[in-house]
A and B are shown apart, each in its own frame.
Chain A
Amino acid sequence: DAGVIQSPRHEVTEMGQEVTLRCKPISGHDYLFWYRQTMMRGLELLIYFNNNVPIDDSGMPEDRFSAKMPNASFSTLKIQPSEPRDSAVYFCASSFGGGIGEETQYFGPGTRLLVL
C-alpha cells in the first residue's frame, strides 16, 4: 500500500487566497483525521471522519476552515480566506476502527503551508 497520500507537499500563497489541501487515506481505512502542527501549539486535531461522515470538528479554528470527505478515498481541507497565522504543517492520518476499538493512525507526509 502507498500509505496516506497528501497533496500538495508545499503550498505558498498570499493572504486572502483560497487554499485546498487534499488527502487520500489508506485503502480500507474507515477513519480519517486532519491535524495541524505549529511550533506554538504543537499537534492539534482539527476534524475527523468515520465512514465519510464528520464526527468531531471541534478543533476547526473558525469558519474559514472547512473539510469534506465525498467518498472513502478522498478528503479535502479548505481555508478561505487564508491568513498568515494559518501557516503550519497540515497532516492527514487514517486508521481502521473495525468496530473493535481504535487502531493505529497512519500519517501522510504533510502539507507545509505558508501564507504570506
Chain B
Amino acid sequence: AQTVTQSQPEMSVQEAETVTLSCTYDTSESDYYLFWYKQPPSRQMILVIRQEAYKQQNATENRFSVNFQKAAKSFSLKISDSQLGDAAMYFCAYTRFGNEKLTFGTGTRLTIIP
C-alpha cells in the first residue's frame, strides 16, 4: 500500500524568508502524481502545486516550488519570500496513475513569524 510521510508536524519561518517542507512516500509504481495542498484556518483545501512523476523538471508556481527526487521518493515544498497568508496546514498527497484515490500525509503546520 502507498504511504505518505510528513515528518515535520510543525514548522515556523520569519516573514520574507524561505522554508522547506518535507514529504516522502512509498510506492512500487512508476507512474504517479504528487500534490501539495494548503489548508488555512478556514479549513478549505487549496491546491498549491502538482508534479507528474514522469516529468524530471520540478514544478513551480510563483513563490512555491518543489524538489522532486524520484529515486529517493522525496517531494519537498519550498516557499520563498514567506508571507503571513502562507500560514496554514500543508498536506502532501499521492495518487498513482489510473487510480483516482488520493493518499494524504499527516500534514505540517506552518507558522509565519512577522
Interface of A is mostly: strand
- Whether B43 contacts A102 by the Cβ 8 Å rule is no
Chain B residue numbers with a CB within 8 Å of A104 are 35, 47, 50
- Whether B95 contacts A107 by the Cβ 8 Å rule is no
Interface of B toward A, CB cutoff 8 Å: 33, 35, 37, 42-47, 50, 91, 95, 97-102, 104, 106-107
Q: Convert A35-46 into 0s and 1s, putting 1 for each residue whose CB lies closer than 8 angstroms to a CB of B.
A: 001000011010
Total A-B residue contacts, Cβ distance less than 8 Å: 47
Q: Convert A76-109 into 0s and 1s, putting 1 for each residue whose CB lies closer than 8 angstroms to a CB of B.
A: 0000000000000101010101000110111101
Interface of A toward B, CB cutoff 8 Å: 31, 33, 37, 42-43, 45, 48, 50, 55-56, 89, 91, 93, 95, 97, 101-102, 104-107, 109-110, 112
